[in-house]
Structure 1
Amino acid sequence: MDFIKVGSACPKTKVSDVLYNVENICSCIKDAYKQEVKFIVFPELSITSYTCGDLFLTSSLLNKAIDGLKIICEESRNKDMLIAVGCPLVHNNILYNCACIIFDGKLLGIVPKSYIPNYSEFYEKRWFTEAAMLVDEIISLPFQENIPFGTNLIFCAGDYKFGVEICEDLWVTIPPSSYLSLLGANIIGNLSASNELVSKKDYRVSLVANQSARCMSSYIYSSAGVHESTTDLLFSGHLIISENGSILKENDRFQRENEIITSCIDVFKLNSERLKNLSYRSSSQIVPFKSKFINFSFNNTKITNFNRYVDKHPFVPSNEHEREERCKEIFNIQSSALAKRLEHTGLKKAVIGISGGLDSTLALLVVVKTFKLLGIDNKNIIAITMPGFGTTDRTYNNALTLCNELGTDLREINIVDAALQHFKDIGHDKDIHDVTYENVQARERTQILMDLANKEGGLLIGTGDLSELALGWCTYNGDHMSMYSVNPSIPKTLVRYLVRYVAEKESNKEVSNTLLDILDTPVSPELLPKSDKGDIVQKTEDIVGPYELHDFFLYHFIKHGSSKERILTLAQVAFKDDYSKEEIEKWLDKFIYRFFTQQFKRSALPDGPKVGSISLSPRGDWRMPSDASFNSFK
């Protein structure tokens, strides 16, 4: 799956006590190895500690640091782990603040700090020299010669490409990690010693998250801990693991024992984001130096303890407050887009078919919000309910109640007689409940809506959602068509939350109760006759599969270009308590088949607003041949 487990560590330290510090670093390495970590980042100058002051200029400390570095190299043997540890080193009679990159008993390379802070409480230039443009150098140590030395080093193990920067490097206008990322690094480690001040923690988290987003990378941050504190400064041991703008893991600061946090990084996702982003490709031309790639190989990157959360509903924020804000924003996007179309066409009326189902309900709520925005009376919303062979009392009554409570111009047109006449016209037996039986009803409803929109001088509003478009679960030139669609970027899992948001936050009691009952109604096109008891027989999710699975498949297929094998593995993690592997694979096969065979419907979509990061509009995000084969994807 191209995941790799990484770690950020904060060992106990004593200022200038190299042996003590190295013992704790080695203890963390052993612990990380047990947890299957493949890349671990330690704090800045962790071998000596950060706050040694003028002791950095003594040969005793510098020589001890090299001895300590050798011990860590020995500890790394047969660990199959890349280690980034901080150490002061002299090169050409100049002292550098360095990140030493170790693998299997050997120093792969040494990265000096590019930018040295010398303001406020920082006084590093007294001891260390900046190395921003120091590239392609070689350094030798008593226990190893000819070690690559410079700020342009990238450590490569196949698709895993590691870059390193140190503390202040992150805080400058263009961090070295920006260049390293443009040169291919997708995992960045930062060895830091950031002291603690009120609110600095929040700013630090923001910096890490934003840099990982700008670089489309993972960013592993490790800062010196509380035992580093001395004189006027207090350190907290802040550990952060971020990926493309998201914080995957963060510790509780101020711990007094050795600490490691770990997370699984999705390198496939990072690389796919870069593949699609043209600006990333263009920006690679501005890097002022060439990278030096240092190749090595992990023996095994298999993860038996997969400790990364996989969201089963990637379109829906899990945080309640964030979800509420998202719902507000989506309604604003939908209503503002529809308002623009109404203003542009000069139309003062909207026509919409209301079934008592989720999608038409959401579309109606959007139209109501739009008319309020434009100051148009709801009586100009012509809501048409069109009972057919499968319409149940429950959906019918919910449609009537909702439209009456919202003050629309509600009209009822029964389609049974028209459908029976059409069966007679085309020679179809009304007792054969096949696709013709179903589509005659869908197209009859669309014909009524289109013609009424012409008659009334109104705009026909489409109601279909993103999930239905992905599966092609709509009748071509039936409910597939409208004059303007408001839900084409809203997946079914999110439709539910939008309707629930209105029910709970923006409705009177009667409307709220109706919306909640609509939410509890099985999803159905109601095109087949109802049961003897008057219940819905045709349940969509029994036919095409659970929408929560299809939305999950859609997200990972479109967002990251994931393979069937990868989607299946991720789905097994996300839905481990809900579906068996066999069930997931069955519906995934169904998704792939329908997604490819139904593209012709998406190629002829009416206009509609893009709401989220995924859209299937042929004019926007998704350009796919209608006759593409799915054989390479099944």
Structure 2
Amino acid sequence: MVFGLRKRILESIRIAKSRGATMRVGPELEITGYGCLDHFLEGDTCLHSWEVLAKILDSEEVKGMLCDIGMPVVHKNVIYNCRIIIYGRRVLLIRPKMWLANNGNYREMRYFTPWMKHRQTEDHYLPRIIHAVTGQTKVPFGDAVVSTVDTCIGVELCEELFTPASPHIDMGLDGVEIFTNSSGSHHELRKLYTRVELIKEATLKLGGIYLYANQQGCDGDRLYYDGCAMIACNGKIVAQGSQFSLNDVEVVTATLDLEDVRAHRAVISRNMQAASAERYQRIEVDFALSGGKFDSVRDLEDVVLNDFPIHYHRPEEEIALGPACWLWDYLRRSRTQGYFVPLSGGIDSCATSVIVFSMCRLVAEAAQRGDKQVIEDARRIAGEPEDSSYMPNDAREFCNRIFHTCYMGTENSSEETRGRAKALAQAIGSYHTDLNMDTVVTAVRNLFAFVTGVKPKFRAHGGTAAENLALQNIQARLRMVIAYLFAQLLPWVRGRSGGLLVLGSANVDESLRGYLTKYDCSSADINPIGAISKTDLKKFIAWAETSFDLPILKTFLDAVPTAELEPITETYVQADEADMGMTYDELSVFGRLRKVDKCGPYSMFTKLVHEWGSFLSPLQVAEKVKHFFFEYARNRHKMTTLTPSYHAEQYSPDDNRFDLRPFLYPARFPWQFKKIDQVAATLPDRSTVKPAEAKARMEEA
């Protein structure tokens, strides 16, 4: 892993130099990758980091460049998340992170310790492998800034930008003109705007140049780091990298005038604060970032003067691109031969399949651009020999090679869902199989009858609720068994070696509600939609219908969501929202209030009485809230086995990484529910909307 990252670091330095850059900033912990997790506690990780840094220091690429590189460092037997500032073959400064990310997806304090000696440095004694290259015995370690011949540079590390008292404020008041931020920031739908605004704000009042570098790609876990490297000056974004890309290396450059920073800071109120600012230790280096006077009109033209149009993807595009890039990284790193999806004919497995098709489109576009790494990976995944001339230029053709779908029907399945699944497979080009698994279901049902002497029946045939649920669950669980059988053997059937990864297709709302069978076909290797709401998935499918030219998707949007696990009768057709006792739109609201707004049952009730009070009575709101928490609590145990999912939503219920809550609850919340009932009975009914209009109002809310 570190060997591949070393090559990418050196390639980024080479590209930056070729564009005339004199300073290069990389993402957080770039030598190891951010996602090492508990491997950061192993001595080998730090040892190999120094070995890689020694190779970088000894390379031709770093000559004449000031570089900011990230890795873990053990200082006095304490592990720190650090930036190594180097120039030529010398280490100038090791700057440890002071404010650590320790919430949501991040557990930095499990591995690292924050540097609490602000504006202080100590001597750090370098390992022999670095001494052999640089001749240095010790270097400054701590909170300092780097002073070049022409300017002053300060380091800010990822989370430090998000803290109320960010280091860039004090550094800027002490004369630092350039700030670097090396980040490991993950993608969430609609999150980029917050990051952009923070970067702009960092230099709007203060003045200065802000260089923001972020990882891009899957780092071995549920997160996708969505790049979007940026350069800002005096509160304006002047350069922006891509947010989603298959590129291994991407470099963003800009030429800026330091005099613009100095002019921006010529404000009396700012200077009064600056005059009393505490000083930072300056690590001096005999090097100038600027080339002195402009040598030509061309140099003047390179200076960025105008506003840069910031690009934001629509959420539908984010769903199309983020999980697709994540799937590509997962596929190439796992060295498997493709993906397998149980395609039910419903919108969730449809969305999963369209995301895989989006991945194939990105591969085809990269191949058409001549991206050698993507072409090499695509050939290997498609089973082509090393000397093959195969080019993955056609998305549907490549999809047929690496993507396998299967409709697993029973007597409870409809011809509509079977037809939709087949039509979608044809539209995107997947290798599709269609089977009827009634014989397998009947065999298990007969086995139970043979052993116990009684045969369970569906509710439609006079069975109890327990019988009905058990017969539904056995269908769902058998689909998982069949999915893995086909995933392991379909490449063999097609004359190829290797196996396929099984993709799950349970959305975040179903997981939150627990509306899935434990160890059913939602149990898979990875799940690209596991943290995306049903509402957003519908919008994504509507967008993809035209953007990907897939008219078949209209039929998925029009269909009523159903598991098709119960017999269809003249008076009954199974429907997801009816089974759940709540709508998908309501689930999204419950999820955000529970996780993002940190609401328990009572505080959720009080909020929703105000938000929904115009179309629901307090008693109706109370029943909905109690029903959600009852179902959430009694199904929470299912989250302990949730398929690893692409993280895309702040209210993901992923028990394994993101949502650290108990899985055993008193499901009827006796204290909280009693208080809800008492308050609901005393509140006036402000609802004026007729029942027929309530659902529409709910969707609008």
Instruction: Bin the TM-score by the shorter chain.
Output: 0.3 to 0.5
Structure scoring higher RCO (CA < 8 A, sep ≥ 6) equals: 1
Query: Could you tell me the TM-score, scaled by structure 2's length?
Result: 0.40
Larger radius of gyration: 1
Structure with the larger strand share:
1
